[in-house]
């Protein structure tokens, strides 16, 4: 089975963004899309290592080095280890960039919502749109208090540099309380034709989604980034046994990178495993249903998801599925990654 190839990256610098957030700047050059994430291997005395996904906060269009931003969480072993132990000259093993939380066009008008450390992928999108796009950008950024605002200085500088294109609206819980659906709706109403991207704590994303639905945002203009802690370690994945060549098979037709493929799909095998075995460049990261990197759209037929920690009912109703957890139910399935 094809497996992800990891890379050992050297840390060029560590930037203290707030008292509990650090940006890890890598001395590296690799392609990525705004809003994607890296999976880092973090050493552990108990199990050797754990894997954690951290969003890239840099822009591939600004010419700088790639960076991820990590915020401490009270019980977060990996985030605390990174903030306490990583410094310039450290090396970290990472998997290639992944994720689908990225605009199809940087020229679109963008309505960005971020809560706390959810600013990380949103910042990558914002900077990329300013550097390589032409649309207007509105950022609504919620935090506990002024001291917890990640990228505060950089956001001020960008707003000053692009006054005609960028509007930044800060929401501080210490001053205004938690943002309600009604308040978010009022903030978003003038931008009801924009493309919306949201990342932050689950209650915040739920409130934003409800507000956007009330305003009539269609599903294709509402984008959410969700992460769940990885249980398995994608750096140490065992090779799956080959399926029984005489076993029952379905057929999957798919569109990937603009090309059509027809592939036999053993009914006991997960779709991602089958595609990788055929040498097809299907996207993925965690392989356990805890991120959305392998998401595809079900066009026809039926599949079963063995595990799902990131797709909500609306995603499922829209035909979104996870390749790493899909097994066929019908004899013929058609999907699309476009």
Would you list the domain boundaries of the chain?
A: 7-98, 110-225, 240-336
How is domain 240-336 classified at the architecture level of CATH?
Roll (3.10)
CATH topology of domain 7-98: Elongation Factor Tu (Ef-tu); domain 3 (2.40.30)
pLDDT digits (tens, 9 = 90+) for 267-319: 999 999 999 999 998 888 778 887 777 889 999 999 999 999 888 888 898 89
Between 63 and 288, where is the model more confident? Answer: 63
Mean pLDDT on 160-165: 98
Whether 321 has a pLDDT exceeding 50, the answer reads yes
Whether 32 has a pLDDT exceeding 80, the answer reads yes
Whether 154 has a pLDDT exceeding 70, the answer reads yes
Report whether 212 contacts 188 (CB < 8 A): yes
Q: What integer pLDDT is reported at residue 237 of this predicted model?
A: 57
Whether 1 has a pLDDT exceeding 60, the answer reads no
Assign 232 a pLDDT band (cuts: 50, 70, 90). low
What pTM did the predictor assign?
A: 0.84
222: nearest Cα among 245, 247, 242, 199: 199
pLDDT digits (tens, 9 = 90+) for 198-217: 999 999 999 999 999 999 99
Distance between CA atoms of residues 1 and 233, nearest Å = 16
Distance between CA atoms of residues 301 and 252, nearest Å = 9
Assign 241 a pLDDT band (cuts: 50, 70, 90). very low
Which region among 71-75, 114-118, 179-183, 206-210 has the lowest average model confidence (pLDDT)? Answer: 71-75
Assign 184 a pLDDT band (cuts: 50, 70, 90). very high
Distance between CA atoms of residues 50 and 202, nearest Å = 23
Distance between CA atoms of residues 122 and 115, nearest Å = 10
How is domain 110-225 classified at the architecture level of CATH?
3-Layer(aba) Sandwich (3.40)
Q: What percent of the chain stands above pLDDT 70?
A: 93
Distance between CA atoms of residues 201 and 123, nearest Å = 16
Report whether 334 contacts 301 (CB < 8 A): yes
Is there a shared CATH topology between the 110-225 domain and the 240-336 domain? no
């Amino acid at each position: 089975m094809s497996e992800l190839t990891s890379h050992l990256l050297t840390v060029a610098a560590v930037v203290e963004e707030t008292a509990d957030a650090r940006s890890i700047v890598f001395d590296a050059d690799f392609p990525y899309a705004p809003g994607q994430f890296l999976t880092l291997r973090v050493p552990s005395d108990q199990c050797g290592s754990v894997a954690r996904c951290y969003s890239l906060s840099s822009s591939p269009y600004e010419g700088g080095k790639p960076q991820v931003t990590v915020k401490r969480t009270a019980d977060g072993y990996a985030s605390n280890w990174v903030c306490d132990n990583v410094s310039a000259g450290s090396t970290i093993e990472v998997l290639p960039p992944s994720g689908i939380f990225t605009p199809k066009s940087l020229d679109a008008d963008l309505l960005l919502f971020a809560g706390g450390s959810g600013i990380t992928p949103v910042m990558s999108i914002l900077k990329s749109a300013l550097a390589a796009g032409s649309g207007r950008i509105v950022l609504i950024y919620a935090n506990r208090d002024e001291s917890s605002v990640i990228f505060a200085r950089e956001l001020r500088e960008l707003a000053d540099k692009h006054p005609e294109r960028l509007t930044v609206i800060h929401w501080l819980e210490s001053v205004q309380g938690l943002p309600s659906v009604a308040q978010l709706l009022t903030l978003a109403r003038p931008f009801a034709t924009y493309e919306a991207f949201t990342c932050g704590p689950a209650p915040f994303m739920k409130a934003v989604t409800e507000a956007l639905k009330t305003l009539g945002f269609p599903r294709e203009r509402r984008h959410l980034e969700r992460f769940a802690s990885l249980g398995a370690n994608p750096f140490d994945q065992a090779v799956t046994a080959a399926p029984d060549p005489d076993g029952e098979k379905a057929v999957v037709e798919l569109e990937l990178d603009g090309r059509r493929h027809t592939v036999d799909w053993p009914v006991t095998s997960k779709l991602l495993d089958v595609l990788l075995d055929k040498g097809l460049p299907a996207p993925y990261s965690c392989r356990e249903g805890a991120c959305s990197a392998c998401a595809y759209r079900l066009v026809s037929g039926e599949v079963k998801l063995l595990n799902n920690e990131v797709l909500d009912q609306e995603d499922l109703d829209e035909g979104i599925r996870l390749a790493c957890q899909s097994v066929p139910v019908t004899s013929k399935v058609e999907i699309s990654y476009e």
